[in-house]
Amino acid sequence: MAERLTSLQNPKIKDLLALETQSRERKARGLFVVEGRREFERACAAGFEPVTVFVREGEPDADAADFLVSDRIYEKIAYRGGTEGLVAVLRCRETRLEDLQLSAAPLILVLEHVEKPGNLGAVLRTADAAGVDAVLVCDPLTDRYNPNLIRASLGAVFSVPTVACSSEEAYAWLVSHAIPILTAQLQDSELYYETDMVRSTAIVFGAEDKGLSDFWRERADAHIRIPMAGAMDSLNVSVSAAILAFEAVRQRNQQHKRL
């Protein structure tokens, strides 16, 4: 029988709010929060371990909850409306570079210093749709279990192999696996659709405000760009990642049809 919680001062509620709002708390305790049945089910399907499940009173699956919460408490712990009355705490699980399982011609997205959780979440959603082998988040400025990131990814953060590492570690790993590196940049670059992405490919994207560092520019096998016809000289990193990832998919599909 689930325990009913009615006070915002309950230690369980305080712990939950701390995990939602504090990256330091998530890292220290190895726990994170998921809001909504869709994201919760995707996390469980990917093998993440539930620790505590909070369900709003009156929901059809309330019997499966560890704790039932009143509407007033649910409004406090829920980040957004329309999440079907479920908030859960799960155990973090970190993936290392050596854990990655690659296809015969892997497609890797590399993000350097990406700060906004929404952008990283959107890139992960694209990576899931495009069948990307892995996303490497280099020198991250946001943690993988930020609630805004989980929400923006629609749960793709659980299905896409994602590794947080330094740029040096990512580069060494790509070289060790003979994966050519393409950097998305305007300077000294070729049009993206004229660049071979049928073979193994890693595409590197820079931060929203500063772009790519010299570290990646100097070590890339090729520089590619998306043509810009207007006054702007760049796109949001999640948009750029979608365009280039699906160009790789297009090229590979065409190659498959020829064979």
Task: Identify the band that residue 82 occupies on the pLDDT scale cut at 50, 70 and 90.
Answer: low
pTM of this structure = 0.92
Domain spans, the chain: 3-91, 97-258
Mean pLDDT, the chain, whole residue set: 92
* pLDDT tens digits, 144-202: 999 999 999 999 999 999 999 999 999 999 999 999 999 998 888 899 999 999 999 99
Task: Identify the band that residue 40 occupies on the pLDDT scale cut at 50, 70 and 90.
Answer: very high
- If we measure between CA atoms, which residue out of 238, 200, 237, 207 comes closest to residue 221? 200
| pLDDT greater than 90 at residue 254 | yes
* pLDDT tens digits, 188-223: 889 999 999 999 999 999 987 778 999 999 999 999
Express as a percent the part of the chain with pLDDT over 90. 77
Architecture of the domain delimited by 3-91 = 2-Layer Sandwich (3.30)
CATH 3.40.50.620 assigned to domain 97-258? The reply is: no
Q: Cβ atoms within 10 A of the Cβ of 224, count?
A: 22
